[in-house]
Every structure is written in C-alpha cells, then in structure tokens.
Structure 1
Amino acid sequence: MDIDRYISSNEATWVRLDELTRRARQRVAALDDGELDELVALYQRSTAQLSYAQTYFRDPALTARLTKLVAAAAQVIYGKRPRTAQTIVGFFATTFPAAVWHNRRFMAVAAVAFFGPAVLVAVWLLNSRAALDASGSAAERTHYVEQQFEQYYSAQPSAQFFTQVTTNNIRVGFMAFALGGIACVPGVAILAFNGVSLGQAAAWMISEGDTLRFFGLILPHGALELTAIVFAGGAGLAVGWALIAPGDRLRSEAVAEEGRRAAAIALGLMATFVAAGLIEGFVTGSGLPAAVRVGIGLTAWAVFVAYLWRRGRAAAAQGLTGALGERPADVAGVFPVATSGR
C-alpha cells in the first residue's frame, strides 16, 4: 500500500480521534461511555498506525501528524503528567507483580540455584565431621556462634545498621541480577555461592546446639530478604536466557524486551530490600521475643508473596507481562476496556 492510499483509508479514524480528544480535553464528562470506549480504541489503533507509518513510509509530515494526534489522546486518557503518585501506584499495583509473575519459572530456577546448595552444604556438614572440621576449626566455629552471629544484629545503632544492610542487600541483589544477564552461568554461580555461605552458617549454628537461635535471627528478615535476592537473580536469568535462546524474536529484540521486564523487577525489589532492611535493623536485633520477631518477618513475607500472586495473576489475565512502558488495555481503569470489535 502506498502512502496516499494509507492516509485515505485511515483518515476517518484520525479525524474522529481528534474530535473526541478535543471534546475530552475540554471536559471528559462531555463524552458518554460509548464515546470513551471509542476514544480508547481509536487511540490504540492510531498508535499502531503510527508505528507502521514510521517503519514503512518514513514520511516526516505523516509521522509528525500522527505523533501529535497520539500524544494529545494519551494526555487525555492517561492524565496530565507528571502524575507521580498515580504512576507509582500503577507500577506496584500492576507492572512489578506482572513482571515477577511472567518470569516465575526463572524465579523457580533461581530459588533452586540458591537454596539447593544451602541445604546440601548444611546437610553435608552436619553429617560429616571431617567436612565440618574442614569448613572451620572448632575454635572458629565456637567464636562465630558465641561472639559473631547474634552480635552482628545488635552491634550498631538500628538506623545505622538498617542503612548498612539495605545497601549490602541491594548490592548482592544487583550482582545476582547483572551476572544472570551474562548467559546465565555467572548468575547461577553467585546465587549458589551465597547459598553455600548460608548453608555453612546454618551447619555451624546447628552443630553447636543453637538451632532455635539461628532461625530466630534469620527468619525475621531473611524470608523477605532472601526471596528478593532470588527474584533479582531470576530476573537476570530471564535476560541471560533471552540472549541464549531468543526464540522467534531477533536476539536484540528479545534481550531488550526481557531487559525492560527485568528493570521493572529490579525497581520493585529496591522497595523490598528496604522493607527487609527495616525488619533486620529494627526487629531482628531487638529485645522482642523470638516468636514475635519471627512472626513479624513471616507475616511480611506472606503478605509480599500473596500480593505478587494475586496482582501478578490479575495482570496476566489482562495480557500484561510487566515490561516497562507496557500499558493495560483498560488504561489503568480510567476508562472501560476497549472491545476488539471496534
């Protein structure tokens, strides 16, 4: 199709979208429900037509016209920018959980890569005296259990410790994320390395008869913190796998798409690491009973998982995958969902 035929066949759409946009700009209530539905449908259609025109015609005048038209309609539909609060709410209500849900299989792989070595090392050290002694002398293990483990959580003022552990956790999460994007193997390695460290710490504490103290200090913050590290690693693995096996997409397109989704996960996990840091800084090392500390931590973790499960499934039902820049078909609930028959 040449450019003249393309303009002729779509002119009515653009004129109608411009008319509805102008009316809605003056007063949204001036449009009835059917017209609002039509506005959204025409906006989506014109956005696709703009993309087509940019790809196949590259005509400056047509591109400028459609860009202006689509931008004006978007301003009416999504509201005037910046709408910071709405954007943040929309991100955590839809984008972040959608991205995690879409990459849930990679999260499962990351969980195995982390917790698998942790369990194996702990079981091995607890069942092999030679392996336990090779991991550290009796004096080193006793010093760690009696002098280092619990004191780590209370040696500094809470606010200072919160800042320190949050920064460290974000660094570890970023490493797992970044290394996972390099063909997967380095990401799996860093997850496994951290899992081994956790397994050794567990074995040392349990072998000294401090099982309850170990879990009483790890679970309050660890349930949320370790889940966030695993999710960061899973996001990196998704990018790395797109590089290895892009499927029917160009490798550059696959990596870019997964990168936008992984970026959404990374941004969401920043808040998760802050929440875990608050618990570690102000709850784990506090004087609260162990049962209360563990209860707080596991409650926070359960709420986090339930939120991701519920919101992620809901977003997936709308066809969303959590890539940054992706918008739901019903424009965040501001207007009714556009029907495909329009």
Structure 2
Amino acid sequence: MDIDAFVTAHRPVWDRLEYLVKHRSSLTGEEVDELVDLYQRVSTHLSIVRSSSTDAMLAGRLSALVARARSAVTGAHTPAWRELVRFLTVTFPVVAYRARWWWLVTSVAFFAVSWIFGAWVAANPDVQAAIATPEQITQLVEEDFADYYSEHPAASFAGQVWINNAWVSLQVIVYAIFLGLPIPWVLWQNAANVGVSGGLMASRDKLDIFFGLITPHGLLELTAVLLAAAVGMRLGWTVIDPGHRRRAEVLAEQGRAVMAVALGLIAVLFISGLIEAFVTPSGLPTAVRIGIGVLAEAVFLAYVIIYGRRAVHQKETGDLERAPDVAPSA
C-alpha cells in the first residue's frame, strides 16, 4: 500500500473527526451523526494501517484519534474525584455567588425582623407576660437557654443539630416549587423565634449570654439557611421571569443548580453542627468561642466569593457540564 497516497486521501476525514471530537459539547444533531460515521470510517482506516503498514507514528495517531472519538460517541465516565473537585470549586460556589443579591436582601430582612421583635419583647412587660410567666422566663434565661447546648452528649447533639438544620434547608429549597411563596413565611417564623428569645434574654440583662452562646454556631448556621432560602426564591422567580430563554430550559438549569446548593449546605451545616456541639457549650472564653464562629463564617464567605467570582468569569452557571436538556441529539 502506498502510505503517502493513503494519508493524502484520508487526512481531511481525520482532521474533520478531530474537529468534531474537540467540539462535541456543542454539536448539532447532524454533526453527531457525522461524528459516529467518521468514527467508524477512521476505525477501518486504523485497521488497514495496522495490517498493511509499518508506520508506527501514523498508527499511533489514528489509535489516539479513534480512542478519543470512541469516548465522545459512547460517553466516557468522568472520574469521581474530578466531579467532586468541580462541585467544590465551581458548582456550589458559583450558584451561591450568583444568588448573592437575593442572599444579601434575605439576610438583611431576617436580621431586621429579629431585631424588631427582640426590641419589642424586651421593652414591653405586657408582651413578655403574654409569652410566659415571670417564673418561666427566669427559668429560661437563668438555666434552660444555656443548658440546651450541654444537656446531651456532644457527638449525638452534633448529629441531631446537623440533621435538623439540613432538613430545614432542604424544605426551604423545596418550597421553590410553589414559586418560593412559602419561604418568606418560614423565615418570618424563624426570625420571630430568634427575636423573642433575644428579647427575653435582654429583659433580664442577659444579652451577653445570648450572643455568647448563639454567635459561635449561629453565624454559619443562619448563613447557610438564608442561602437556601435565597436560591429557593430565586428559582421560584425564574418561573415568573425566565428572561429571553425558554422557561422550561431555565427552570431545569436553575433546578439542577439549586439541588447542588442543597448538597453543599449539608457539608456547611455539618461544620456548624460540630461548632454548636463542641465549641458553643465548651469552657473556652466567650471571646474565643465567638472568634471561632466569626472565623468559620469568614472562611465560608471568602470561599464563595473567590471561587464563585472566578467561575462567573468563566461563564459557569453551576449546571451540569453536559445538561440533558441541551445535549445534542439527532
């Protein structure tokens, strides 16, 4: 066989197959069909070269091209470690970062409501009396509030807190199915509870104990729950205003991204649970316990900002690398 003539005759086919393989994520249906056809033809060329030529370099090039084309046609499995790295450095932080304004407004509203409720309860004895008797308030302020964090073994308490907070976050995200409308009500109830507890503690001049116990774990915990609420409401708004794209396509994309946030928050809330179980009730000085909570919060926010901003600049959305609703089909 004249190997030079063979290469000259078939090089355009090989170059075209190489091009299709490189751009496989954006192929049209016709191009996918062409990719399959060229893969079969070049496989035949490789067999001919191996049986009729001693040109090792040509055989090696065609072998590599056929292997890459086979992966493109059959769908090569992405290594688990690569999926995990992408999730940690792209998927989770970019979805959180893209929801940053929803997240910020939600957080400001939550803490404003908590502060208003707290001030109202602390300044009105009649409101306090409607909540509980003076003896019950004294019991809460002097013993129950602090005992809550130390009455159970730390390990089991951490697990209980983690499961509870993860479940609350998942519920908030699921409410996006209802356009996110129940989410503000859930946040209102939680903000009111925080405000009432703080107001009762303030009424007995125990705010130092309140913030000393709630701040170490509460910063990260509330940040995670508020992020879940923000992405849930953002997903609900997508149904109302999908922009210039098809509503079903945007909803599918945002839905997958939001579920990624739900998975990421499980890890964040696990850390918060550990702090609540092992740091909050510990004998460490209050300043040290609060410092640990502030550090955990700062690390988490820096992680979201740094990796999220970088992913946004790379045009990432947090969706799957090859989303099923945009995958090429014949």
Question: Which TM-score applies when normalising by structure 2?
Answer: 0.78
Q: In the alignment, which residue of structure 1 is the partner of 2:211?
A: 215
Q: In the alignment, which residue of structure 2 is the partner of 1:16?
A: 15
What letter is aligned with 2:15?
R
Q: Tell me if structure 1 keeps the 8 A contact 2:123–2:203.
A: no
Distance 2:81 2:119 in 1: 48
Distance 2:126 2:39 in 1: 70
Structure 1 residues 133 and 93: alpha-carbon distance in aligned structure 2, compared to 1, 3 A threshold: same
Q: Tell me if structure 2 keeps the 8 A contact 1:99–1:261.
A: yes
- 1:92-138: CA deviations, max 9, x gaps? 11211111111112212322342232122112212333223223332
Residue 136 (1) aligns with residue 135 (2): no
Distance 2:37 2:146 in 1: 65
SS at match of 2:282: coil
SS at match of 2:23: helix
Distance 1:185 1:105 in 2: 18
Give 1:16 deviation, angstroms: 2.5
Q: In the alignment, which residue of structure 2 is the partner of 1:48?
A: 26
Distance 1:191 1:109 in 2: 12
**Which residue among 298, 301, 304 is the counterpart of 1:302?**
298
- 1:58-77: CA deviations, max 9, x gaps? x995585589999946959x
Distance 1:115 1:70 in 2: 59
Q: Tell me if structure 1 keeps the 8 A contact 2:213–2:280.
A: yes
Q: In the alignment, which residue of structure 1 is the partner of 2:168?
A: 172
Q: Tell me if structure 2 keeps the 8 A contact 1:180–1:188.
A: no
SS at match of 2:284: coil
Distance 2:135 2:66 in 1: 70
**Which residue among 247, 257, 260 is the counterpart of 1:251?**
247
What letter is aligned with 1:325?
E
Q: Tell me if structure 2 keeps the 8 A contact 1:181–1:238.
A: no
Q: Tell me if structure 2 keeps the 8 A contact 1:102–1:322.
A: no
Structure 1 residues 320 and 82: alpha-carbon distance in aligned structure 2, compared to 1, 3 A threshold: closer
SS at match of 1:319: coil
Q: Which runs of 5+ in 2 are unaligned?
A: 1-9, 41-64, 324-330
Q: In the alignment, which residue of structure 2 is the partner of 1:85?
A: 81
Q: Tell me if structure 1 keeps the 8 A contact 2:17–2:39.
A: no
**Which residue among 250, 258, 262 is the counterpart of 2:258?**
262
Q: In the alignment, which residue of structure 2 is the partner of 1:98?
A: 94
Distance 1:296 1:308 in 2: 19
Q: In the alignment, which residue of structure 2 is the partner of 1:289?
A: 285
Q: In the alignment, which residue of structure 2 is the partner of 1:274?
A: 270
Query: Which residues in structure 2 correspond to 1:197-216 (within 5 Å)?
Result: 197-216=193-212
What letter is aligned with 2:297?
W
Structure 1 residues 153 and 63: alpha-carbon distance in aligned structure 2, compared to 1, 3 A threshold: same
What letter is aligned with 2:14?
V
Give 1:246 deviation, angstroms: 1.7
Distance 1:231 1:67 in 2: 46
Aligned residues: 288
**Which residue among 178, 187, 193 is the counterpart of 1:191?**
187
Question: Which TM-score applies when normalising by structure 1?
Answer: 0.76
Distance 1:310 1:187 in 2: 28
SS at match of 1:150: helix
Deviates more, 1:115-124 or 1:270-279: 115-124
Deviates more, 1:127-136 or 1:186-195: 127-136
Instruction: Report the structure number with the largest CA radius of gyration.
Output: 2
Q: In the alignment, which residue of structure 2 is the partner of 1:35?
A: none
- 1:187-243: CA deviations, max 9, x gaps? 111111111111111111111111111111101111101000000111111111111
**In angstroms, what is the RMSD of aligned CA positions?**
3.0
Q: Tell me if structure 2 keeps the 8 A contact 1:117–1:199.
A: yes
Give 1:146 deviation, angstroms: 1.9
Q: Tell me if structure 2 keeps the 8 A contact 1:263–1:324.
A: no
